[in-house]
Amino acid sequence: MASVSASCLRFQPAVLLRSNNTSLRTNLNVVSMNLANKGFPSLKASRFRISCAAKAETVEKVCGIVTKQLALAPEIKLTPESKFSELGADSLDTVEILMAFEEEFEISVEEDSAQNITTVQEAADLIEKLVQTKTEAAA
């Protein structure tokens, strides 16, 4: 069982019940953590990004494909942080963009991976990863 207060988080050994209603005490040790000086940790998961930093050439090609597929005006400049949804892409547009990536880079994007692509940088990073995997498999 766990007891929580503003300054301490404490876990105590659990008691398990057997089928014949007799109890069996586990041999877990008590663990305490003093949070008085640090405050209670946030329950909200923090986000961080690990990026393989795709080549500038790949990012440029991705920007060109997205611009063409979404028929964006020439004055709209895409950055690696540009989100497809903010550019007006719906789900059909996104599928067409992915198909253009597959054709341009001669790769195959799995559906699971495709769902994680929301920005130009994410697309470029995935493309580089898939191209590298394809190259290594061919060698």
- Give 54-108 pLDDT, tens digit per residue: 899 999 999 999 999 999 999 999 999 999 999 999 999 999 999 999 999 999 9
Indicate if 90 belongs to the active site: yes
Whether pLDDT at 19 is above 70:
no
Per residue in 34-67, pLDDT tens? 545 555 445 444 454 444 578 999 999 999 999 9
**What integer pLDDT is reported at residue 38 of this predicted model?**
52
Report, as an integer, the average pLDDT of 115-131: 94
Whether pLDDT at 122 is above 70:
yes
Angle between helices 120-138 and 56-69 (to 10 degrees): 120
The three-class DSSP label of residue 3 is strand
Options 90, 93, 112, 125, the catalytic residue = 90
